[in-house]
Structures are given as structure tokens and as C-alpha cells.
Homo-oligomer: A and B are copies of this chain.
Amino acid sequence: MDRINALRKRITSVDISKMKRAQERLDALTKPRGSLGKLEEIAKLIVGITGKENPVLEKKIIFTFAADHGVVKEGVSAFPQAVTGQMVYNFLSGGAGINVLARHAGARVVVADLGVASDLKPDKRLIIKKVNYGTKNMSEGQAMTRDEALRSIEAGIEIFEEEFSRGSGIPPEAGKHGVDIVGIGEMGIGNTTAASAITASFTNMPPAQLTGRGTGLSDKELENKIRVIEKALAVNKPDAKDPIDVLAKVGGFEIGGLVGVILAACARKVPVVIDGFISSSAALIAYCLEPKTKEYMIAAHASVENGHIFALNHIGLKPIFDLELRLGEGTGAALAMGIIDASLKIMTEMATFKSAQVSEEAQ
């Protein structure tokens, strides 16, 4: 916890004065004021986060963390648990949705095993930071120990820091960013159940409203999933004032890992693109640990999963788009990176009214 607290103290607010100057620059460009809507907001925010007047997002990383969930014993997923590990191999060989969309965005996918239930074949592209072989069944007791929750967050911090120093070949102490922007994604059969329970803990909303069909449950299976979450909350009584307690009782190792990435990225002034519902449950925990993390978050999209919008609302984030996605892995975050890049190009490449000799609007 000391390490996490030390990191929290390093997270400062974004640079409002630079954001104001960015808006002035945007207003001088050959377009009616504000007519590029969210693109202008995003560009301004990236300036505020990075503190750079002309940020360029060259080094993009999607962190896709995998872990298993003991609660799958309760029949909360349409897919067998073995799929978590199988998908890790798919990530490594480049055939998953996130690989395709990350390539499209010019991003690298960093895959880590935070707690897959089986031992995965060694692969130099796979980071192993296994906290345990899957969580325990949260409907019978807490998913992990408090110590495991802390270790999962610390594992995420370590993974980010390794990439950060590796990214540019410059040691972190030099203060230069080796990572320009990160997206957070995940894979874990059963993890929409964890995300629903986490979101219920922080928002106090009934699980029936926050729980969705995940990878594709029937009506009956959805009813069961809701009952399982209700039971998990009743058995564990997660304390919303103690985000580590929530993570330990109803969370997952990949979710904890992503909390660590968020904290570490914010401390390094690196924008964090939040993917779907599970990523947002990690964002919720990070936000409740340190509210300033919100200023560094960009919500990529509104997921089909019922609970997602409530998680985003609780933090105070608005998604950039709604493409009816519900895949996870970081896919929505990767797509959003294309739009974020576009927003920065608008700010840096467009002509001004003056330079293009275009008349301005009547005041």
C-alpha cells in the first residue's frame, strides 16, 4: 500500500492554463468556433494532461490483462473458463480483435497474465505476473485476499513502468515519457460479473440494473447471474469507502492490474483511454483511490453492457462514441485512439484564419 500511496501523491491536476491556450489556438483555425465538437475537447484535454503544446502520440500501448474468475462455477458465462488462456495465445499470435484494431491505430498490445487459472506456455511476448490461479468464487466469500488485491495493483504499476522505461530507451528518472498514451483492456471469462459487482458497490445501484448478458447469456442465465452478484454483495459487504476492499472482495486480478496501470500512467502524465465495462470498473477503483485520476481518463465508448454507463457516470466521464461494442480486450480504446490522433492533427495542422486569409465571423 505504501507504493500505491506514494504514487497517488505524484498525481497532480492537469494544466488548465495550457488548455485555455489550446482553446485559443483552436478558435483561430479556419472553422466556426467549436464546430469540431468533441475533437476540440479531446485535443485540449491531451494538452492539459501532457503539458505539451503540440503533443504527438507516437508510442501507443494497449494493456490487455488476463485473469480467471472463480465465480464462473456459478454458470455466469456462456464460454468455458479455458477460453481465457486460449485467448492469451490468440493475443500473442496477433489474431484477436484487439490485435487488429491496435495495428489499425498504430498501437502495441502488451499482454500480461495477472491470474489465469492455468500455467501458460512461456513466451517472451507474454508478461507473467500471476497473483494466483484465478480468484475464488465471490458468491461464497471474498474473491482474493487484501494482500492479493494490493499485489495485483502493484503488478500493473510494474508493467506500466517497464514499458515506460523501455518505450524510449530512456530511464524513467529522466522524466521523459516513454509511452505517449495508453488504452486499458482485458480478457477474463466471468469478468463482467466482477465489473457488475464492483459498480454496484460504488454506485449503490441494484445488480439487476447493472448486470448485462456479457458474452451472450439467455434470459434465464442472466437472472442467475444477477442472483449470484446479489449473493456476492450480501456475503462480502464490500466497503465503497475502501476501494482495495471492493477489489479484494468482488474484483479480479486483471482489474487490479489495470488499476495499477491507471495510477502509474496518471503519475507520468500519460492519458489513459478506458475501454468498456470491465476497464471502467478498474477506472472506478482508481478514481475512488485518487479522484485526480479522472482528469487523465478518456472514455472510449458506451458499451452494450448495462452497467457501463453507470460506471462512467459515477466517475463523470462521457464516452466518445457508441458502436454497440461488447468485446472488451481494449478494442474500443484502440478505435478511440484513431479519433484522438485526428483531434491532435486538427490542432496542429489546420490553417488559421490569418494564415489562410479567410474572413472571420461577424462579432
Contact = CB atoms under 8 A, between A and B. Distances in A.
A100 to B, nearest CB: 5
A291 interface: no
A316 interface: no
A214 B356 CA distance: 21
Interface stretch (A77-85, A133-141, A158-166, A280-288): A77-85
A31 interface: yes
Contacts of A99: 349-350
Contacts of A37: 304, 323-326
B323 A362 contact: no
Interface in A263-313: 304
A35 B355 CA distance: 46
Contact of A327 (B36, B82, B216, B349): B36
B357 A86 contact: yes
A36 B86 contact: no
Contact of A100 (B304, B326, B350, B361): B350
A348 to B, nearest CB: 9
Nearest to A29: B97
Contacts of A346: 97, 100-101
B327 A362 contact: no
How many copies of the shown chain assemble into the complex? Answer: 2
A326 B345 CA distance: 18
A154 B110 CA distance: 52
Interface stretch (A48-56, A144-152, A171-179, A336-344): A336-344
Interface in A23-76: 29-39
Contacts of A35: 215-216, 325-327
A322 B321 contact: yes
A32 B215 contact: yes
A201 B274 CA distance: 43
A78 B216 contact: no
A150 B52 CA distance: 51
A229 interface: no
Nearest to A97: B31
B335 A339 contact: yes
**Which 3 pairs from chain A and chain B are nearest by CB?**
A95-B351, A37-B324, A32-B215
Given A30-B97, A78-B362, A104-B345, 5 more contacts: A30-B90, A37-B304, A95-B349, A99-B350, A338-B342
16 contacts: A30-B96, A31-B96, A32-B214, A33-B216, A35-B215, A37-B324, A37-B326, A38-B323, A79-B359, A80-B362, A83-B358, A90-B356, A93-B351, A95-B350, A97-B350, A100-B346
